[in-house]
Chain A
């Protein structure tokens, strides 16, 4: 998985509790992304980062926040989890260079269930 580790891999939580998912990379890539995958929707971008402390919203950012204090770590936080946030979450990285041709590499995913 191109040096990308997501933790935890599985989590069950209750509605209203905060949840933090972690993505750690060893590739020193500039860009990091959080997606959620749901049946019939493919992958939808939640937030992405283009550098330390530089983040921006994606298509489905409501209810989520992110932080990137180091190049290698990108955290996704659900401040107060809801059942609609039950999903599989993927982290991806990308190197912004002409040579890299914008290829994204994905982690193995985190399966989150909100009861």
Chain B
């Protein structure tokens, strides 16, 4: 069975500081991995995806994530946090039969 674990349900960073949101996956086969962002009272929007091409994946709004097979990790980073980055972030993995498994989410607070 596939699953993802997000370490830290809440993360706070100062505006301009590095954002690091952690995600570890378990998968018996090379996975498709995703990061989604959810702003208050909205649905989820795709930030970026890993699909077995480059291990460093760039997404929207300056976010990127690095796939590390040896660590089974897919951590999300952004060099400089902006107030507009405050949201809930979800890591997800998909299986060959198009089922998706989501982490429990990390709420990001950006302190001015």
Mark A residues whose CB is within 8 Å of B.
1, 4, 31, 33, 35, 40-45, 48, 50, 58, 90, 92, 94, 96, 101-109
Contact = CB atoms under 8 A, between A and B. Distances in A.
B90 A101 contact: no
Given A40-B9, A101-B51, A102-B94, A90 B100 contact: no
A101 B46 CA distance: 12
Given A40-B9, A94-B98, A101-B32, A106 B43 contact: yes
Interface of B: 6, 9, 32, 34, 36, 41-46, 49, 51, 90, 92, 94, 98-105
Given A48-B99, A101-B32, A43 B43 contact: no
Contacts of A104: 34, 44, 46, 92, 94, 100
Given A101-B49, A102-B32, A42 B103 contact: yes
Contacts of A108: 42-43
Contacts of A41: 104
A1 B45 CA distance: 8
Majority DSSP secondary structure for residues of B touching A: strand
A40 B51 contact: no
Nearest to B97: A50
Contacts of B36: 106
B99 A103 contact: no
Given A42-B102, A43-B102, A96-B98, A103 B34 contact: yes
B99 A45 contact: yes
A42 B9 CA distance: 10
Given A42-B102, A43-B102, A106 B45 contact: yes
Contacts of A101: 32, 49, 51
Nearest to A58: B99
A35 B44 CA distance: 12
